[in-house]
Amino acid sequence: MKSNVAYSNPYELREELQQIADSLNLPLNDERVGLTWTGSGKSFTPQVYKEVLEPLYFRKGQKKDTSCESSS
């Protein structure tokens, strides 16, 4: 069983998200970047969520049902 260490360094996480964004040819704040990162089973501390993930992927006024629904 793989140990799951939570990311606690916001700069490290932001750098990793940028690498994913670059490889997908997407902007950093595209929700598919965040979904790709979390889909690999990674986790984060509440501080990192507040500093990095919330501003990028959970902005005020953003619809909550956009990323996980398939468009049939």
- Is 23 part of a structural domain of the chain? yes
Higher pLDDT, 12 or 70: 12
Residues in the chain: 72
In-domain check, residue 65 = no
Domain ranges, residue 17? 6-57
Which distant-in-sequence residues (6+ apart) come within 8 Å of 66 by Cβ?
31
| Residues with Cβ within 8 Å of residue 20, at least 6 apart in sequence | 33, 36, 37
3-state helix, strand, coil in the chain (%, to 5): 50, 5, 45
pLDDT tens digit string along 23-55? Answer: 999 999 999 999 999 887 888 999 999 999 999
Q: Which run of H or of E encompasses 47?
A: helix 46-48
Between 66 and 4, the more confident residue is 4
pLDDT digits (tens, 9 = 90+) for 59-68: 776 555 544 4
Residue 70 counted as domain residue: no
pTM of the model: 0.73
